[in-house]
Structure 1
Amino acid sequence: MRVPSRSPGHQSGPPSPAGRHPRVAARPRSADGPDLDAYREAVGELLVEVGALAAASSTKARQVLIDQRLREPAITAVLDDTPQGAIGARETLLLEMARYQPNARSSASDLAALVRIYLLSRIDVMWWRDASTFVTDAEVHHSTQLVDLEWLRRRGLLKFRYTEQPRTVLGRGVRAVRRRVLPDATPRTAGLLFRRARREVVALLNDIAREFSAATVVGTPPLWVTSLVRSAEHQYRLRRLGYAAMLPSGHCLGWAVDVEMAWHQRFGARDTLAGILLDRQRAGELNVIDEGQAWHICLAPSATRRLRRAYEAEMGA
């Protein structure tokens, strides 16, 4: 099974509109941008060393390691092109590591996973450094940049599935009963708080869902989305609950998505979906992060024009 957090190539192993923050002035960058293959490879090597220093007594050694490795050109090239810069990213990562407490909710099962998620998510932030953050829940609900998924779903225009978070005590009770009676009928996910997404992201998910359906046997469930756009307000709520919700985040910019992976293992389709996502990463269309049960994907700016045209053609917009 290929793991997106170690390198961009094939690998074998276990599966693993108002009230926004002001834009940050863009720094000069090369025409082609940093070498993301080299960055992912350097991050993968760093993770091996972090794993070897997992003991609590190795805190100082881990800090020295982070200090040294984040100065490597392949890593600095990406981090220096984020709003925080390389120094700010280093300080944030060290703070995240110092605060880290493993828990069942977090996709960061250990310190190495935390480092992997943070560093690979910086690709999202680098790509979308000039995008505005959805700061509050109200901004997400009222933004004209986002479309209502339920409106599209009811018209049969979505090829993927999702579930919403129950809003009432009754709704939560019904969800709990359904899970007891049919525990594997759907993924074990809290569901979407915001059923809204950018048009380009809808087109991307429809495209992936069609490819996934064509590559799997009849009866395989469709692509399942577990998280889309989030407000920074909600991201802080998730952090307080113990989730590995990074800041800044591609979710809070509207360009990142989490898709269910573990549930598809029951149907023998997890590897197929992983291959589709990693192929798109190699093509430069996505950034992919293995977060265990779900994989995080973020759309690259270079793919937005094509996907916007695809959305308009498909939806008759």
Structure 2
Amino acid sequence: MGRLLGVFRFRVLTVCFRFIRTVSYRERTQTMRVPSRSSGPQPSVASPAPARRSPGSARAVARVMPDLDAYRDAVTDLLVEVGALADATSTTARQVLLDQRLREPAIAAVLDATPQGFIGARETLLLEMARYQPNERSSAGDLTALVRIYLLSRIDVMWWRDAPTFLTDEQVNTHPDMVDLEWLRRRGMLAFRYQEQPATILGRGVRAVRRRLRPDATPRTAGVKFRRARREIIALLNDLAREFDRATPAGTPPLWVTSLVRSAEHQYQLRRLGYAAMVPSGHCLGWAVDVEMSWFTRFGARDVLAEILLARQAAGELNVVDEGQAWHLCLAPAARVRLRAAYEAEMGA
């Protein structure tokens, strides 16, 4: 009975949403073309096996970049419907909803352009939803947040689909494209702040005592495991930190970075601990970071930082994902050359 009720609710909601969106959606998507792996029909969702992309198809996607504004709008619409079917009795209705909505051209174009392809991305999302368990560590406070984080983070892996993944901690620590932030910090070359994860029991104890004595002195975050980053990311964070400093009153703390590059090894460890660590991830490619947001509310600066980040997204420089306490940022490939030049000019490299 609960399942039938869920399906009935879904059908009613579908009729309402389609009536509201019909005119605007047709105007927005009538000229769009969904990239596919062949000249045949669009990818079927019947097969459970993740599809692999051929080199020829990757070149085709590069020629026809999906409309990211349309994608984000379509994801926003989808989230409203997912939220209306969030209860446990609506599992079947949610799956029917996703089967339909993920096929929409604006969404399918991005998913099809990821390394997993449309089918693989869809199956991964369904698996994430099936395994989802809310907990204090996860940035996904509910099922709707999980879907939002997953779908918006697919822009990262679409942009950097040809970038190699850092599989192990050793690869992160020894890769020539990674720069040691501590070396730069000690020379006053960083405009942003971060803190490392304590490596020992003693270090964790000292951190805990400091938090008790001064609970709001720093963000409540575990810190970064790897104090390394790509040169372009360092230039981006310095640029954002300076803009943030100019836009906020004196006494406002600098931009605070909560997460940088991660290895796939570390990403899976975070997943085991209950964090909403998506795979594939822009963090494991070295092109994504997380910045603190909630802590800046006490300084009246959170909204200022949000405006700065969203303006960069509108300019095509970043992909921004609201993950609650921290926001996830991924650098767009189009901004790479400018930021590499900025790093070399600033650091004298």
TM-score with structure 1 setting the length: 0.92
Q: Aligned AA for 1:267?
A: F
How many angstroms apart in 2 are the aligned matches of 1:237 and 1:93? 19
Q: 2:193 aligns with which of 145, 161, 165?
A: 161
How many angstroms apart in 2 are the aligned matches of 1:32 and 1:130? 16
Q: 1:172 aligns with which of 194, 204, 220?
A: 204
Query: Match for residue 19 of structure 1?
Result: none
How many angstroms apart in 1 are the aligned matches of 2:142 and 2:261? 26
Task: After TM superposition, list the pairs within 5 Å mapping 1:60-71 onto structure 2.
Answer: 60-71=92-103
Query: Match for residue 93 of structure 1?
Result: 125
C-alpha spacing 1:194/1:33, structure 2 compared with 1 (3 Å)? same
Query: Match for residue 11 of structure 1?
Result: none
Does the residue aligned with 1:298 lie in a helix, a strand or coil? strand
User: Deviation string for 1:41-71 (max 9, x for gaps)?
Assistant: 0000000000000110100110110110000
User: Deviation string for 1:232-283 (max 9, x for gaps)?
Assistant: 0000000000000000000000000000000000000000000000000000
Query: Match for residue 330 of structure 2?
Result: 298
Work out whether residues 24 and 129 of structure 1, in 8 Å CA contact, stay in contact via their aligned partners in 2: no
Higher relative CO (Cα under 8 Å, sequence separation at least 6) belongs to 1
How many angstroms apart in 1 are the aligned matches of 2:119 and 2:171? 30
1:109 is aligned to 2:141: yes
- The CA deviation at 1:24 is 7.3
The answer for unaligned runs of 5 or more in structure 2 is: 1-52
C-alpha spacing 1:32/1:215, structure 2 compared with 1 (3 Å)? farther
Q: Aligned AA for 2:213?
A: V
- The CA deviation at 1:148 is 0.2
Query: Match for residue 74 of structure 1?
Result: 106
Query: Match for residue 239 of structure 1?
Result: 271
- The CA deviation at 1:27 is 4.5
User: Deviation string for 1:279-311 (max 9, x for gaps)?
Assistant: 000000000000000000000000000000000
Task: After TM superposition, list the pairs within 5 Å mapping 1:282-293 onto structure 2.
Answer: 282-293=314-325
- The CA deviation at 1:32 is 5.4
Query: Match for residue 215 of structure 2?
Result: 183
How many angstroms apart in 2 are the aligned matches of 1:153 and 1:296? 22
- The CA deviation at 1:159 is 0.1
Task: After TM superposition, list the pairs within 5 Å mapping 1:1-317 onto structure 2.
Answer: 25=55, 26-29=58-61, 31=63, 33-317=65-349
Does the residue aligned with 1:313 lie in a helix, a strand or coil? helix
Q: Aligned AA for 2:152?
A: L
- The CA deviation at 1:28 is 1.3
Q: Aligned AA for 2:75?
A: V
- The CA deviation at 1:31 is 3.5
How many angstroms apart in 2 are the aligned matches of 1:86 and 1:31? 18
How many angstroms apart in 2 are the aligned matches of 1:117 and 1:87? 18
Q: Aligned AA for 2:297?
A: Q
Query: Match for residue 36 of structure 2?
Result: none
**Which stretch of the first structure deviates more once superposed, 31-40 or 164-173?**
31-40
Aligned residue pairs, count? 295
**Quick one: percent identity of the two aligned structures?**
79
Runs (4+) of structure 1 moved beyond 6 Å?
Answer: none
How many angstroms apart in 1 are the aligned matches of 2:137 and 2:299? 24
RMSD: 1.0
How many angstroms apart in 2 are the aligned matches of 1:194 and 1:30? 32
How many angstroms apart in 2 are the aligned matches of 1:30 and 1:306? 20
Does the residue aligned with 2:289 lie in a helix, a strand or coil? strand
The answer for unaligned runs of 5 or more in structure 1 is: 1-22
Work out whether residues 27 and 81 of structure 1, in 8 Å CA contact, stay in contact via their aligned partners in 2: no
Q: Aligned AA for 1:113?
A: A
TM-score with structure 2 setting the length: 0.84
Whichever of the two has the greater Rg, that structure is 2
Q: Which has the higher helix share?
A: 2
